[in-house]
Each structure stands twice: as C-alpha cells, then as structure tokens.
C-alpha cells in the first residue's frame, strides 16, 4: 500500500440517481474520459520515429481494419475516403525513397487516434485527498448543493490496491511515447504506457489532488471494496436532499458520520463540521445551546433563596412601593 498516510479519499458529487445509487446499490459510477471537463485528459500524441518497413507493415494492418469495418450495402463516404487516403500513402511510401515529415505526422495522428480510442473506453472513478476545496465543491458538487463521500482507505480496500487505484501525476508536458516504443512493448510495458496516460494530467489541475480507480469499461456502475466513513453536505445542500440521504442510511442500519461544510469566520474558505441531519444543526451549536441553557438555569437558581427543608416552598418577601 503506497502513501499509507492518506487514510481517506473523497468523492464530490451532485444529488442525482447515480449518486443516490451509491447508498442504495453500493455502486459507484465510472465515467469514460471523454465525459470529463478536461479535453486533454487521457489524450496521446505518439512521436513519429518509425522505419519505412514498420510503417508499411502497420499501415497495411490499419488498411485491413478499415476495410473490415465496411458494412454490406451501406454507404459511408467518410470511411471510403479514409481507405483511399491510406492506400495513397502506402503507394507513395513504396515508390519513394524516404518517409516525409508530412506522412509521418499523418501516421502518428492515425496511430494516436487508434490507441486513444481504447483508452477512452475505460471507466474512471475520480477521488480526491481533500474534502474542503471550494473550487471542487463548485465544479463537482453542483455549486455546493451536492455532497461529498468520505471513503476509508485501508490495506484491505480497493483504494489500497495499486493495480486499481493510484494518485494522479501532474506535469507540464504530456507523456512522451514513440510509435516504435508503443509497437515493441510487451504486455507489462503496454500496461505501464496506459497507466502513464491515464494517471497524468496538466499541472493546472494539481489543486484537486486526485486519485483514480480504474475499470475496463466506462459509463457503468461498479461496486468497490471501500467503507463509507461519512457523508459531508455542502453549504447549499437543500434540506430535502439531506433528509433523503439521512433516511436512506436509516433504512440500511449502517452507522456513518454526517458532517457539513460551513464558512470560516475570518478566512476565505470552508470548514467541515459534525452535523445532525435530523435536527438540521451543527453539533457544536447543539453543545453551545445546551451550555447556554445550563448556564441560564444556574444563574436563575443562584438568584433564588435557599429552599426550606419543609415540603412547602419558601415564600418570597416582596416589598411593595
């Protein structure tokens, strides 16, 4: 288990059927990368260093793939044009002495698209190390109207399995992968290439401190072996949504903590505080109210005269003007 100091991971979400399904079915939604808000996510651009022989071999493989994609008695002008273009390139390379930069760039683009298609079909569950980031509450939790799920990360959970869950690496540059490197990779090396693409994002996103759980097929719900430790409501989570989630857990009989975001008094930011969804009040406010009430009772008692040992209450002497 890497980074054992990271004991909890958090899922920001809006209130919807998929997020409520987490509590009903014990399943999380794994989205495809093309649904993400970062257009560069899981993207790939292979470097075009390839020999003439390898180029022709791969081009012919790609041509066979395109031709096999044709459906009988169905017109597909875009596919027909693509097949024509590939044939022209193959002929040009065969009759020429060298690969031009234009041809190499075209091939690298085609290879990148083919490789990206496979990656963009995977499923990703995005989690974070932090639960109090104002931007993430705005972006992923419906502008603070949603909630955040705290998942416990221990050695027996899927969140501690390095084959399934890893932290994102933030970088200024995209991962450099050559066509030759990609083509010659064995199964284990291929996995490492995929991982570097899936777990690398632009440094602009490093405030998210993201971790990712991976499944082979995306846009599906999956169970994960990880205990829900608490649910955190946002600054603007509607009362009816809070009550719905509270009732869902009441029916399951599972014990979890409830907390809620609250604005800090002096600083820009929020703090996460224990919360009672039944009374719709922060726990420290309950204690403060109780302390104030107790203090008021004590002050009242201090003003009254000592009671008589007899059963009859003592009479107060009142001086009338």
Q: What is the pLDDT of residues 144-185, one digit of tens each?
A: 999 999 999 998 899 999 888 999 999 998 777 776 676 677
Q: Are 260 and 275 in contact (CB under 8 A)?
A: yes
In a domain, 294, yes or no: yes
DSSP string, 213-264: EEESS-SEEE--S--EEEEEE-TT--HHHHHHHHHHHHHHT---EEEEEEE-
What is this structure's pTM? 0.74
Cα 124 to Cα 44: distance, rounded to the nearest angstrom: 17
In a domain, 228, yes or no: yes
Which of these, 298, 264, 82, 45, lies nearest to 175 by C-alpha position? Answer: 45
In a domain, 107, yes or no: no
How do beta strands 169-171 and 123-128 pair? Answer: unpaired
In a domain, 179, yes or no: no
Alpha helices in 1-121 (DSSP H): 17-25, 52-68, 77-95, 101-119
Residue 252 sits in which domain range?
A: 1-38+123-173+208-305
- Bridge partners of residue 47, in order along the sequence: 178
Return mean pLDDT, the chain: 82
Lowest mean pLDDT among 102-111, 233-242, 272-281, 296-305: 296-305
For residue 289, name the pLDDT band (cuts at 50, 70, 90).
low
Number of domains in the chain: 1
Mean pLDDT score, 261-266? 96
Which of these, 278, 201, 268, 252, lies nearest to 260 by C-alpha position? Answer: 278
More confident residue, 264 or 104: 264
In a domain, 74, yes or no: no
SS3 for 173-211 is: CCCCCEHHHHHHCCHHHHHHHHHHHHCEEEHHHHHHCEE
pLDDT at 314: 35
For residue 313, name the pLDDT band (cuts at 50, 70, 90).
very low
In a domain, 103, yes or no: no
Residue indicated by tokens 């009903």: 24
Residue 303 has pLDDT above 80, yes or no: no
In a domain, 33, yes or no: yes
In a domain, 13, yes or no: yes
Contact partners, residue 313, CB within 8 Å, separation at least 6? 307
Mean pLDDT score, 294-302? 45
């Amino acid at each position: 288990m890497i980074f054992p100091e990271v004991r909890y991971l958090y899922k920001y979400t809006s209130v919807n059927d998929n997020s409520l399904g987490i509590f009903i079915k014990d399943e999380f939604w794994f989205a495809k990368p093309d649904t993400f808000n970062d257009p560069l996510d899981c993207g790939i651009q292979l470097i075009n260093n390839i020999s003439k022989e390898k180029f022709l071999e791969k081009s012919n493989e790609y041509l066979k793939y395109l031709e096999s994609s044709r459906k009988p008695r169905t017109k597909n002008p875009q596919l027909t044009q693509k097949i024509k273009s590939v044939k022209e390139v193959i002929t040009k390379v065969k009759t020429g002495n060298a690969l031009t930069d234009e041809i190499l760039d075209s091939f690298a683009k085609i290879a990148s698209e083919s490789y990206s298609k496979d990656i963009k079909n995977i499923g990703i569950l995005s989690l974070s190390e932090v639960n109090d980031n104002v931007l993430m509450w705005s972006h992923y939790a419906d502008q603070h109207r949603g909630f955040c799920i705290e998942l416990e990360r221990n050695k027996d959970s899927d969140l501690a399995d390095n084959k399934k869950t890893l932290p994102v690496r933030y970088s200024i540059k995209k991962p450099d992968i050559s066509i030759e490197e990609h083509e010659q990779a064995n199964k284990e090396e291929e996995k490492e290439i995929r991982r570097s693409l899936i777990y690398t994002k632009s440094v602009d996103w490093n405030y998210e401190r993201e971790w990712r759980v991976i499944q082979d097929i995306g846009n599906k719900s999956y169970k994960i072996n990880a205990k829900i430790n608490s649910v955190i409501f946002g600054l603007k989570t509607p009362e009816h949504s809070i009550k719905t989630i509270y009732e869902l857990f009441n029916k399951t009989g599972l014990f979890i903590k409830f907390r809620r975001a609250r604005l800090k008094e002096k600083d820009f930011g929020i703090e996460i505080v224990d919360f009672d969804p039944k009374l719709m009040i922060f726990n420290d406010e309950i204690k403060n109210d109780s302390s104030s009430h107790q203090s008021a009772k004590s002050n009242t008692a201090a003003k009254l005269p000592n009671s008589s040992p007899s059963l009859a209450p003592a009479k107060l002497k009142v001086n009338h003007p």
